[in-house]
Every structure is written in structure tokens, then in C-alpha cells.
């Protein structure tokens, strides 16, 4: 009934034309035609794949004894696990994946489009770097005869902090730049204020618009940010810079941005004033 291939190996065993799956000598297993490896994943809906010659059924693969099989278990937002085993007998391997939706320094949100708003769903508690800059105020100018006056807009305030945050939804908004303004009388007027930017319950404040009149003034910088979450690092937490003013035909400079060029105040000019620059929000996962 058996054909010996060597001292310890037996070829496939048949009884008539029927292949025998297992053969025993007393209670001792002396022959098995196939063995099954089963992967039991957590979460249960993780995907299981196999590399190796055999018959796959769901999360199991049936192979000849002593076959090398590589299994991989994966699911979106979880770590992938993979291993290679030599299957000598029926066995089940429990595999638990770790929930890890982000990698360190992964950017979760970034926008410099004034008026953009969204809700950022943070999936796990951890440390998150948030850069939040408000919009700058617009520049203003008068164009009355030759008595030209101008006031630059103030820049938006801003912060750059690493917060310890819980999982959940966080409102995000990017402040618009304030509108420029040009006036045709010495009575003049004031340009538009920059919009506030926010992350959750933290805010940076927009710069004020420049004022153009007989006695022009630059717009005030945005007020100091409002910070409500626990901070582990603070790189920037600054009010905006005031705009300049001139009583001639020259340009009144807008307030300098507190971070890069975002939220700069618009320049004031008697005929060519400039809108304030929009703000900026960026959120980066830093780790658990």
C-alpha cells in the first residue's frame, strides 16, 4: 500500500483508487497527504493572502506537508503583518493588527485658500503640530488732488504649536485677506479686516485694514491668538504687526507676516492699494 522514497518519506497512499488523507499505526499518525494553515485575524474583517502552492479557501490554505507558506494580513489604517512558516501539521495562527492610521510627520490638512473651511476628523489621540495664521488687513489710500495719503493693513496673528489632542472632529477655517480700498476724498476711510483662522477652539486673529485720510494710520496687527489645548511645544504664538502709513504719494507698507508670507497686511497706495494676504492652516501628526 505504500511506496518508500527513503528512510522516512512515503509517497501518496491509496486504497484502491481512493487517496487516503491520513494513516495511523495504532494511535500514531504515520502518513498525512495534506495539511491546512488557518489565519485567525483581528480585526476579523482584515484581508488574508497567501503565497505558496496550495488550495486557498477563505483564510486557510491546504498544502502538502513541509510546504513553505507566506501569509499577509492587512487592513486600511492598520499595520500590515507578514510571516513565512513551514506547515508540517494542521495549525491556526492568531494575528492581531495594530490600529495605526497615521505615520509620524504625515500632513493631515494644509490650505492657504482664504475662506476654506472643513472639519478634520482626527482618528487617534496623540501629538499634532498645528500652524494657524490669520488673514492680513487690506491696504487703503486716498486719491484726492495731489494730497495723497495711505495706510497699510495689519498682518494676522498666528501660532505654531504641538498639541496633545484627543480623537474627534476639529473645525478648521482659513481667514481671508481683507479687501483693499481707495477713496477719492480726503475724508478717506478704512480697508477691510482680515479673517480669523481657527483649529478647533484655537484661533488666530485677522489684521485690521489700513485707514486713509488727512491723517492716515496703518491697520493694527491681529490680536494675540487664543490657545485652548494642552501644548507640548510652542514655536510661535504672536500677535500681528501693524501696517505703516504715509502722507505722500509713496506706498504705505502692510504689516509683516508673522509666519512665511501668510497673513501679510496689504500695502496702501493712493491708486494701487493691495488686498491683505490670506491666512494658512496646516496640521501634522507627530506621534503618540
Is residue 55 located within the same domain as residue 174?
no
Model confidence band, residue 15 (pLDDT cutoffs 50, 70, 90): very low
Q: Are 221 and 198 in contact (CB under 8 A)?
A: no
Q: Does any domain span residue 17?
A: no
φ/ψ of 35, rounded to 5, equals -130, 155
- What integer pLDDT is reported at residue 263 of this predicted model? 98
Is residue 126 located within the same domain as residue 156?
yes
Q: Which residue has the higher pLDDT, 184 or 33?
A: 184
Give CA–CA dist 62/50, Å, rounded.
11
From 96, 121, 145, give the residue that closes a domain.
96
- What integer pLDDT is reported at residue 143 of this predicted model? 87
Is residue 161 located within the same domain as residue 281?
yes
> Residue 10: is its pLDDT beyond 50?
no
Beta bridge partners of 203: 198, 226
Please report where in the chains the cell 496550495 appears, as a residue.
54
- What integer pLDDT is reported at residue 179 of this predicted model? 98
Q: Does any domain span residue 207?
A: yes
Q: Are 178 and 153 in contact (CB under 8 A)?
A: yes
Q: Does any domain span residue 72?
A: yes
Is residue 276 located within the same domain as residue 143?
yes
- DSSP string for 32-100: ES-EEEEEEEESTT-EEEEESSSEEETTEEEE-TTEEEEEEEE-TTB--EEEEEEE-S-EEEEEEPPB-
Q: Does any domain span residue 161?
A: yes
Is residue 140 located within the same domain as residue 239?
yes
Is residue 56 located within the same domain as residue 136?
no
User: What share of the chain in percent tops pLDDT 70?
Assistant: 89
Q: pLDDT tens digits, residue range 231-266?
A: 999 999 999 999 999 877 789 999 999 999 999 999
Q: pLDDT tens digits, residue range 163-195?
A: 999 999 999 999 999 999 999 998 999 999 999
Per-residue DSSP letter, 214: S
Q: Does any domain span residue 13?
A: no
- What integer pLDDT is reported at residue 145 of this predicted model? 77
Per-residue DSSP letter, 268: B
From 72, 96, 120, give the residue that closes a domain.
96
Is residue 113 located within the same domain as residue 187?
yes
> Residue 210: is its pLDDT beyond 90?
yes
Q: Does any domain span residue 85?
A: yes
> Residue 1: is its pLDDT beyond 60?
no
Q: Does any domain span residue 4?
A: no
Q: pLDDT tens digits, residue range 72-115?
A: 999 999 999 999 999 999 999 999 999 999 999 999 999 999 99
Mean per-residue pLDDT, 44-66: 95
Give CA–CA dist 117/120, Å, rounded.
10
Is residue 92 located within the same domain as residue 123?
no
- What integer pLDDT is reported at residue 265 of this predicted model? 98
Is residue 90 located within the same domain as residue 127?
no
Is residue 47 located within the same domain as residue 121?
no
Q: Are 281 and 261 in contact (CB under 8 A)?
A: no
Mean per-residue pLDDT over the chain, rounded: 91
Instruction: Note down the domain range covering 138.
Output: 106-287
Q: Which helix (H) or strand (E) holds 14?
A: strand 14-15
Is residue 127 located within the same domain as residue 227?
yes
> Residue 282: is its pLDDT beyond 90?
yes
From 54, 73, 96, give the residue that closes a domain.
96
Q: Does any domain span residue 215?
A: yes
Q: What is the pTM of this model?
A: 0.82
Is residue 76 located within the same domain as residue 176?
no
| Tally of domains in the chain | 2
CA proximity to 206, closest of 179, 246, 236, 170: 179
Amino acid at each position: 500500500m505504500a511506496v518508500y522514497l527513503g528512510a522516512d518519506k512515503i509517497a501518496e497512499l491509496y486504497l484502491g483508487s481512493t487517496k487516503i488523507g491520513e494513516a495511523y499505526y495504532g494511535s500514531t499518525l504515520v502518513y498525512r497527504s495534506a495539511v491546512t494553515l488557518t489565519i485567525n485575524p483581528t480585526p476579523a474583517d482584515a484581508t488574508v493572502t497567501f503565497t505558496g502552492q496550495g488550495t486557498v479557501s477563505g483564510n486557510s490554505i491546504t498544502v502538502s506537508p513541509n510546504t513553505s507558506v507566506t501569509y499577509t494580513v492587512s487592513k486600511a489604517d492598520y499595520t500590515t503583518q507578514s510571516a513565512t512558516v513551514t506547515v508540517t501539521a494542521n495549525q491556526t495562527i492568531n494575528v492581531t493588527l495594530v490600529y495605526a492610521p497615521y505615520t509620524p510627520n504625515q500632513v493631515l490638512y494644509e490650505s492657504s485658500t482664504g475662506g476654506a473651511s472643513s472639519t478634520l476628523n482626527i482618528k487617534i489621540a496623540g501629538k499634532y503640530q498645528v500652524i494657524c495664521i490669520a488673514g492680513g488687513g487690506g491696504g487703503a489710500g486716498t486719491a484726492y488732488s495731489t494730497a495723497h495719503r495711505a495706510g497699510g493693513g495689519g498682518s494676522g496673528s498666528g501660532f505654531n504649536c504641538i498639541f496633545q489632542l484627543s480623537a474627534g472632529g476639529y473645525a478648521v477655517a482659513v481667514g481671508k485677506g481683507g479687501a483693499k480700498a481707495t477713496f477719492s476724498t480726503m475724508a478717506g476711510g478704512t480697508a477691510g479686516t482680515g479673517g480669523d483662522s481657527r483649529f478647533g477652539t484655537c484661533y488666530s486673529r485677522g489684521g485690521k485694514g489700513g485707514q486713509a485720510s488727512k491723517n492716515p494710520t496703518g491697520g493694527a496687527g491681529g490680536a494675540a491668538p487664543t490657545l485652548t489645548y494642552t501644548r507640548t511645544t510652542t514655536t510661535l504664538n504672536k500677535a500681528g504687526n501693524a501696517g505703516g502709513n504715509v502722507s505722500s504719494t509713496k506706498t504705505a507698507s502692510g504689516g509683516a507676516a508673522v509666519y512665511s508670507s501668510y497673513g501679510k497686511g496689504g500695502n496702501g497706495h493712493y491708486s494701487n492699494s493691495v488686498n491683505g494676504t490670506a491666512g494658512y492652516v496646516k496640521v501634522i501628526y507627530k506621534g503618540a
